[in-house]
Each structure stands twice: as structure tokens, then as C-alpha cells.
Amino acid sequence: MLNTLIEAFALISTWEVIIAMLAASVYGLVIGSLPGLSATMATALLVPVTFYLSPIAAIATIVAASTMAIFSGDIPGALLRIPGTPASAAYADEAYAMTRKGEAELALGAGVWFSAVGGIAGTLSLMILAPPLAEIALSFSTFEYFWLAFLGLMCATLVARSSPVKAIAGMFIGLLVACVGIENPGGVPRFTFGMTDLFGGIEPIPALVGVFAVAQVMRAMLTPEPPPIPKRKFGSIMAGQWRLTKKYRWQMTRGNIIGIIIGVLPGAGADMAAWVSYAMSKRFSKEPEKFGTGHVEGLVEAGASNNASIASGWVPSLLFGIPGDTIAAIAIGVLYMKGLNPGPTLFTEKASSMYAIYLMFIIANIIMIPLGIVMIRLASYVLRAPRSSVMPFIMLCCAVGSFAIGNNMFGVVTVAAFGIIGYVMEANGYPVAAMVLGIVMGTMIEQSFVTSLIKSDGSVLPFFERPISAILAALAIGALIWPVLVWGWRRLKAISPAAAPR
């Protein structure tokens, strides 16, 4: 244990890792603070760069950039009432109300301080939860893996803030995308339409860049520019945070726990955690009437929650290759690329790398405090950059980055195509996160499904015979028919009162 810890320290105390982490932190802070550029997009655009780094440095950049971006989304939320990332949307109104009351320092300070606390709580959960779960997971057969992956996809559709039917459809589209190529049980070209470029399948990373970055530039073409930020001088940012911590320690802890739980659930990420925690804070508050008028309580709880979900989202990713959220989905891609294939054996065979990940999360959350304060002070300059000068850079990064992944132009075509797909899906209420999970998990779910079927000689019964597999199956099928049941129930209720008076 101690030896592994020392090894982990040695792994991360190289210049490459330190520089990569610092650079990624600054990058994450800037991208996260720009309205319209989300944390997921920041991470996706980073992937081509990680190709050229050592495994630990590559993961360091992902960890640092995503942690920072989730916090710095609070900055334009508080100053402009425009959340920098979707994860800050839940409390942007509240934070802006505080700014108008002259409490911008307190709102932003709470953002940075409780984000850091939340991030560390999430990391602790990752350290505590993952190893024992890995023990259990070692005894899983393909049946359990199939149901687990299926359940993961179902969770993603249940928590989507959209119609569950559309979310399931989105998931199926993603799985269909994963079908393309010759990497299937028979090794035959499938859905390649004779194009050799498609033989290798559709890479998840260009698809992600298209869905999250190109689609965003497309939306920017049709929406008006956000207003420029007024110049202002800030007082002390950290003043009063310790007082808040003591006053709202229960709210903070509750936010951490909710964030951790939502992070672990596949598909539900920081934005969901913030919405749930903010609503919860209002529900259980002693002074709910103050919410919406610039009250810091909700900010504390939701800020502690969304950053906690970032680290805990890595739990299912590292254990099963099932992403806890879209950022973790990207991280999984990087893990595979770097030979750290997700699975329970990762915790025994590559224990020092796992400790290195924990350490990087903790370090990222600690350096977030000073870097975040600097960022807040510089925000009035960074946020003055007009969209018309930022978006061209995003476009170039999309083109070059997707080319760099396979050194071929087909990656760029994929990015463009998925930009359109993502844009159309989003505009019509189909959650793209569900499709992304489908793409990332497709190969794994097919493999476990077909291997299980071959083992059972084509019969479906063995899928339900092992105890854990039966429990997982019941949960998954329940999640699948839940929307149908609720719909039927509502129909019945709608019909009976209308029929009764007659």
C-alpha cells in the first residue's frame, strides 16, 4: 500500500505531468468560463493532444481540465447570468442575484471553495468505493456485464431531462453507430457500404467532438452574442468562506453525497447533480423564501454537488468501462488508448496508476483554489473576448484534432457529420448524451451479449439464472417499461375523471 503510494507519487512528479496539469488547468478555466463552451467540449478537444503524452500525463490533463471547467462555469453565471457550462445553469440566477446585491465576491468565492471541497469529497468516494466494488466485479460473468451495461444505458435515459422514449431512441442510435465496422463477433464488414474508411468503425472521439463542439458552433451561428461583461474590481474572494462552511456544513455534506451518487449513475453528470442538489437545498432549507433573491445556501449545496460528481463519475468508468457521465466517456476513450483498459483488474495490476489518478484529482482540486481566484480576477478580460474570435479557434481545433487522431481526413468528415447529427438531435429534444453513451458502450455491450448467447446456446433463460444477473435484469427491464407504465397510468387517469361526471 505504502509502496504503491510512493510509486504513484513518482509517477506524477515528472515535469511532463506537472506542466500538462498546469496547462490543462488554465485551459479548462478559460474554456469553462466562456459561455457556450462546456466542460465536455473542453475535454473532447483535449483528446488529440493527449495522444502525444505519456499515459499518466494524458489522464492528468483530462482530470485537471474537467475539474477546472466545471468550477469556472460559475463565473459568467454569477457575473452575466449566463452559465459557462450546463453544470452551472441550476444556480446561475441565484448567483447573479447575489452579484446585483453587491455580493459577487461571496458568490464566486463560494463557487471556488465549495467546488474544491466537493471535488475532494468525490475523490474520496472514488478511493473508498472502487476497490471493494472491484472485488465483487471480479466474479462477474458476461451475463452480469451485459445487464450492467444495459442498466447503465437505461439509467442514462431515465435521468435525461427529456422524453424517456426519445432518450432510448438516442441510445439505440448510438448503439447502431457502434455496429459499423468489422470489429464484430463474426469479423465481417457490417454497415460499411463498401467504404474502406468505415471498416475500422466510427471512432468515438471524433463523434464526440462533432456532437459537443461542432454542434455548438452551429448553434452559435443562430443565437445572438451574449452581452459583454461590465468591468469591476473584486474585494477579497475567500473572505467569509470558512464561516459559510461552518454554517452550511450539512448542506455541503448533503450536496457532496448527492453529487457522488449522481456521478456514479451512468449517464448522469454534473449538470444533473447541480439541478437535484439545488432543488433539494430549497426543499429542506429553513428559509426557502430567500431562494432566488441572492441567497448563498443553494450555491453552497449545488456547487459542492456538481464537482463531487466529476470524480465519482470515474468509479463505473474505471471498473466496468461504463461512463458515469459524458466527460468520463471521453476519459474511457483515453484510457483504452493508453493501454489502461477499464476493468476490475486495473486495481490490482495497475494499482500505482490508480493511486496516481486519485492523487491528481486531489491536487487538481487544491490548485483550483489559487488558480480559480486568479481566473476570477482576470474574468473581466477573458470574458471580453467576442465569440467571433473564439469560435474560429474551436473550428480549427476540431479539424486538426480529428485529423490527428488517425492521421486521416476521414476523421474530419466524421466530425462534420456528427456535428449535424448532434445539432438536429438536440433541436428536436433527443438527448445527445444518451447517444454518446451508446457509441462508447456499443462494442462492450454487443460482446457481452453475443458471448452470453453463444455460451447459453442461443437460449435467453441463462441471462436470468445467476442471482446477481437476475437482480440486474429486473432493474433494467423495470427501467425500460417504466415510461410505458407511467404513460398508461396518466392516460387512464385522464380518461376516468372525464368519463365520471356523465
Partner 1 sequence: MRLPDQVTGLFLVGLGAAAAYGGWLLPPVPGQPVGPNIFPLVIGSGLALCGLAIALGIGRTFEEEEEIVPIETGQARPPTGKLYGLRALLPPALLLFYVAAADRLGFIITAALIVYVTSSALGARWKLSLPLAVMAPIVIHLIFSKLLRVPLPAGLLPMPW
**Is there binding between residue 192 and partner 1 (CB under 8 A)?**
no
Report the distance separating Cα 390 and Cα 388, nearest Å.
6
The DSSP code for 56 is: H
Based on the shown chain and the rule CB under 8 A, indicate whether residue 464 belongs to the binding site for partner 1. Answer: no
212 binds partner 1 (CB under 8 A): no
Q: Is 17 in the site for partner 1 (CB under 8 A)?
A: no
Query: Does residue 195 interact with partner 1 by CB under 8 A?
Result: no
CB atoms within 10 A of CB 385: 13
Q: How many residues sit in the footprint of partner 1 (CB under 8 A)? A: 82
Query: Is 82 one of the binding residues for partner 1 (CB under 8 A)?
Result: yes
Stretch that binds partner 1, among 67-75, 251-259, 325-333, 390-398 (CB under 8 A): 390-398
DSSP state of 200: T
3-state SS of the chain: helix, strand, coil percent to 5?
A: 75, 0, 25
Cα distances (angstroms) measured from residue 124 to each of 2, 258, 309, 361: 17, 14, 11, 10
Q: 104 near 98, Cβ under 8 Å?
A: yes
Binding positions for partner 1, 470-489, rule CB under 8 A: 483-484, 487
The nearer residue to partner 1, 372 or 401, going by C-beta atoms, is 401
Contact positions with partner 1 (CB under 8 A) in 136-175: 161-166, 168-169, 172-173, 175
How many residues does this entry show for the chain? Answer: 502
Residues 424-463 that bind partner 1 (CB under 8 A): 424, 427-430, 446, 449-450, 453-454, 457-458
The SS3 assignment for 338 reads: coil
For position 336 contacting partner 1 by CB under 8 A, the verdict is no
- To 10 degrees, what angle do helices 92-100 and 104-137 make? 160
Please identify, among the stretches 212-220, 236-244, 293-301, 311-319, the one whose residues bind partner 1 according to the rule CB under 8 A.
212-220
> Contact between 382 and partner 1 (CB under 8 A)?
no
Could you say which residues in the range 402-431 bind partner 1, by CB under 8 A? Answer: 403-404, 407, 409, 412-413, 415-417, 419-420, 423-424, 427-430
Residue 499 is placed in which grid cell?
A: 368519463
Residue number with CB closer to partner 1 (392 or 478): 392
How near is the Cβ of 344 to partner 1 at its closest, in Å? Answer: 24
If one asks whether residue 374 binds partner 1 (CB under 8 A), the answer comes out as no
Q: Which of residues 85-104 bind partner 1 (CB under 8 A)?
A: 89, 92
Which residue has 481545433 as its cell numbers?
397
> Minimum CB separation from partner 1 for residue 255, in Å?
20
| Residue 364: closest CA among 76, 14, 123, 40 | 123
C-alpha cell at 250: 450539512
Q: 61 with 26: CB under 8 angstroms?
A: no
User: Residue 78 or 137: which CB sits closer to partner 1?
Assistant: 78
- Candidates 4, 18, 26, 51; binder of partner 1 (CB under 8 A) is 51
Alpha-carbon torsion (490, 492, 495, 498), positive or negative: negative
Considering the complex, state which of residue 129 and residue 420 has its C-beta at the smaller distance from partner 1: 420
